[in-house]
Amino acid sequence: MTQHQSTQTMKPATAAKKLGVYLEATPAEFREGVVSRAELNALQADPPQWLRDLRRDGPHPRPVVAAKLGVSISGLARAGLTEPLTTEQIEALKQERPEWLERERATQAEVRKEAARLKQRDRENAESAENGD
């Protein structure tokens, strides 16, 4: 008995998310089709010019904007930034250093610090349990 393997495909929105690009800025042929796992891998391994341009210049989706600014997606929403931003707009915000950005960066730093503390605590508890303490 031979198994017939079907090609795994995904919606363009899913592929754009995996590629870290804003779907609406991608070419029409990308938005209107389906993307196979092999096509996604090819795009990641050897990005075409449009993908390189989008990754460099934007507009960027919120997760990418948040990462580039060092804040959470929720922090962007609290600041009223719901639209995609270009690299130029992100750099301008970094230069301007508005109060909300400094506050959200501090919040994000505290979240990371707490996550690291909890991870260390869990690691110590696991070691303690292994040693029979």
Reported as a single tens digit per residue, the pLDDT across 41-70 is 999 999 999 999 999 999 999 999 999 999
Angle made by CA atoms 75, 78, 80, in degrees to the nearest 5: 110
- Is the pLDDT reported for residue 1 higher than 60? no
> Is the pTM value of this prediction over 0.85?
no
Among 54, 57, 48, 45, CA closest to 17: 54
* CA dist., res. 57 & res. 62, Å (int): 14
H-helix or E-strand containing 9?
A: strand 9-10
Among 87, 17, 24, CA closest to 58: 87
